Amino acid sequence: MKKLLIVALLILFSLLLYITQGENFTLSSLSQDQLNLYSNGILKSEEKFVNNITDYDFAIEFSAEQNQIFVKEKIVWRNKTNFNTDEIQFHLYANAYKSTNTNFAKGYDLSSPESKTEIKIQKFLVNDKEADLIFIHPETMNTNDSTVAKTELDKVVEPGDSVNIYFEYTLKIPKSVKRLGYARGRNFYFISQWFPKVGVFENGEWICSPYYPYLNFYSNFGTYSAKIIVPAGYQIASTGVEIEKISNDSLTQYHFVQNGIHDFAWLATDNILHRNSSYRRKDGSEILIQTYVQPEREKYFERYIDAVKNSLEFFEDHVGIYPYQNISLVDVPRTSNAGGMEYPTLFTVSAELFSPKATGWPEYLVAHEFSHQFFQGVLANNEVYEAWLDEGFASYFATKIMFRYYPDIYNYFKFATYIPIYGLDFFSYREIPIIYTLAEIQIPEGTQSLASYYSNKTIGSITDTSYKQPTRLAYVVNTYSKPELVFHSLERYLGFDKMMSIMKYYFMQNKFKHPTANDFFNSVKKNVNEDMDWFFEEFFRTTKIFDYRVTSVIKKSDTEYEVLVERLRDGIFKNDIYLYTDKEILKQKWDGKEHWKTFTFKTSSNVIAAEIDPHRKNLLDINFSNNSYTVDSRIWASWSLAIRVFFWVQNALMIMGSIG
């Protein structure tokens, strides 16, 4: 009887599914008790810090056959300022792909018809009335660019008022060019910067920048809801949490929601591997880690997941908690240009088919893109004006994470791209080594950014407006490389614990807000007793070059020595001066302002050498080789290395001669 009842119930359930043409269920690897800690994808304890300005509700139909999406978009915008506005401005980022004459096209090849697209709007309503969109050209007067538009309101929006906005539009999915698009040879569609998005209204003005080729974005926080219909067999990975999935024989509808974010990206594919894991915060709450990997890179699953967990732990220990319910990592195909980019609760990465763990890749990429969940994700700075506030910090923290969890990162010769060779014959002829790796030498933190910095030491400063940087190289150096080096230098000057206390304070004061450079500088001032204005001026606001040297060590008497130090360039740094003896190390400090200065040390011990900035606190010093001076000449080390080099060169010439 019991069995018959169960069968009857199963038949009834199947019949209901047939009638509704689908099945409803929610997906989560977290227990119900854990889910109760969240509200629309964010910790309830963090929800109170969020100030939602713009809410979005999407109904999306994706057609793989037509390479197109059909969208109905509802927006609620709230004026939470003390100013009135008679217009609303919108980003239409996808219009950057419209022609070869847009601002975006100055940095990317859009000559192929498959690379072009635009948002084709069929309906636009403001407060249920038809309205007009007027394309405008802020910051750059490029009339061929249609990535910014405005609508003029028939009624002024007062402080505290809200506006309801509605769009219907289609968007052809282009061949992948910088993130948006489909991957060649794969049914893999990555959809980013795809929807009309309201700009930021602050201090009585609209901040709504066009889509520049090398820069990212700026927008307000809000709640996002997206129902996405895809062909059966397609899987969606998305910003936010999946709360519903309805399927029938031909279609599947996913429903995602997320509170407290400022952007939304998603992908559709019919061939990807998916695994879930979780990370437990110190308070016992859990974060769902969703990892999506290309089939040919299945072996990277554990490395990806470990890197995400390590990043979560480092930030929780030193900065603050990750406030959302889940984090999704998406490994993109080789033919997609969507790799290496951050979005709220989701980021993309890529990896080579062969990449040993000792190379630190793709772990570094994971750490960098995850760090953006904090810097620009939760701390939503304007990436068009001050891109270094996210990219510089992401680079700095990625390096900290790598050296904390992957300390065995060494300099090595590389055969091809990803084959490290430690202490082995790299190139021999008849068993005679021509090139041989001498040792495993650990790379100091931050030094990987030095080569980039050296390529552009004086064009542009860190705090220059990002979109006004004169060249792409200047943008990269002043946004990524130089800020990372400066943050490491600030840490070395203040100490690791003090640096982390600054970062924790900066995060707690500015989470779910729009911090600026001054907010960071004020965080330093609040946590450091010393006046740090000199540091901000020398390192952030100017293009000064640093180079200090020890010029001489002179014995004035049996117990007195004079050390002459020089400042060779215009950059000023507060330095330590060390005098080394056979029994002790004598120390003095110098504010570094004079072009030269003599320091007197008294000791009865045998003096060996003197050194300025012995701990290499200032990573922008362009020549560390002149930072020290030895009293007695020590040439054997250099002779030994020179002899090896001459040996390699001689053998190489002999081989070339015999070939000829």
Q: Above 70 in pLDDT, residue 24?
A: no
Q: Above 90 in pLDDT, residue 323?
A: yes
Ranges of H-type helices in 385-479: 388-405, 450-454, 472-476
588 found inside a domain: yes
Q: Answer yes or no: are the C-beta atoms of 262 and 295 closer than 8 Å.
A: no
390 found inside a domain: no
Q: Above 80 in pLDDT, residue 604?
A: yes
Helices (H) and strands (E) counted in the chain, each on its own, are 13, 37
Considering only CA atoms, give the Rg of the chain.
29
Residue 460 and residue 477: Cα distance in Å, rounded? 9
Q: Where are the extended beta strands (E) located within 262-381? A: 266-269, 273-280, 286-293, 326-331, 341-343, 346-349
- The residue ranking higher by pLDDT, 638 or 50, is 50
Confidence tier at 96 by pLDDT (50, 70, 90): very high
End-to-end CA distance of the chain: 94
Q: What DSSP assignment string belongs to 475-500?
A: HHIIIIIHHHHHHHHHHHHH-HHHHH
φ, ψ (nearest 5 deg) of residue 305 = -65, -45
Whole-prediction pTM: 0.89
Task: Tell me which residue of 418, 327, 375, 346 sits closest to 510, measured CA to CA.
Answer: 375
Confidence tier at 442 by pLDDT (50, 70, 90): low
How high is the pLDDT of residue 653? 54
Quick: pLDDT tens for 239-291. 999 999 999 999 999 999 999 999 999 999 999 999 999 999 999 999 999 99
How high is the pLDDT of residue 646? 56
Task: Tell me which residue of 596, 598, 592 sits closest to 556, measured CA to CA.
Answer: 598
Domain count for the chain: 1
- When pLDDT is averaged across residues 385-398 and rounded to a whole number, the result is 98
How high is the pLDDT of residue 611? 96
Residue 451 and residue 435: Cα distance in Å, rounded? 23
Q: Above 50 in pLDDT, residue 426?
A: no
The CATH code of the domain that includes 573 is: 2.60.40.10
Residue 87 and residue 366: Cα distance in Å, rounded? 40
- The residue ranking higher by pLDDT, 652 or 14, is 652
- The residue ranking higher by pLDDT, 30 or 167, is 167
How high is the pLDDT of residue 407? 85
Stretch among 303-312, 326-335, 355-364, 583-592 having the lowest mean pLDDT = 355-364
- The residue ranking higher by pLDDT, 76 or 351, is 76
325 found inside a domain: no
- When pLDDT is averaged across residues 58-81 and rounded to a whole number, the result is 97
Quick: pLDDT tens for 199-242. 999 999 999 999 999 999 999 999 999 999 999 999 999 999 99
Task: Give the strands of the sheet with 628-630, arranged side by side.
Answer: 585-590, 575-581, 607-612, 628-630
Confidence tier at 10 by pLDDT (50, 70, 90): very low
Residue 209 and residue 145: Cα distance in Å, rounded? 11
Q: Above 90 in pLDDT, residue 294?
A: yes
How high is the pLDDT of residue 16? 36
447 found inside a domain: no
Q: Above 80 in pLDDT, residue 640?
A: no
Q: In b/e form, how buried is each residue of 513-548, taking b as 16+ CB within 10 angstroms?
A: bbbebebbbebbbebbeeebeebbebbbeebbebbb
How high is the pLDDT of residue 591? 97
- The residue ranking higher by pLDDT, 346 or 647, is 346
610 found inside a domain: yes
Ranges of H-type helices in 342-464: 363-371, 388-405, 450-454
Residue 271 and residue 550: Cα distance in Å, rounded? 61
Place of tokens 């007062």: 158
- When pLDDT is averaged across residues 368-381 and rounded to a whole number, the result is 98
How high is the pLDDT of residue 359? 80
Question: How distant, in Å, are the alpha carbons of 111, 364, 449 from that of 360?
Answer: 36, 6, 15
How high is the pLDDT of residue 408? 76
Structure token pair of residue 561: 């020595």
- When pLDDT is averaged across residues 39-60 and rounded to a whole number, the result is 97
Task: Give the strands of the sheet with 346-349, arranged side by side.
Answer: 273-280, 286-293, 326-331, 346-349, 341-343
How high is the pLDDT of residue 18? 35
Quick: pLDDT tens for 275-286. 999 999 999 999
Q: Answer yes or no: are the C-beta atoms of 364 and 396 closer than 8 Å.
A: no
Mean pLDDT estimate for the chain:
89
- What domain range includes position 581? 548-635
595 found inside a domain: yes
579 found inside a domain: yes
Q: Answer yes or no: are the C-beta atoms of 436 and 355 closer than 8 Å.
A: no
Q: Above 70 in pLDDT, residue 78?
A: yes
Confidence tier at 5 by pLDDT (50, 70, 90): very low
Q: Above 70 in pLDDT, residue 468?
A: yes
594 found inside a domain: yes
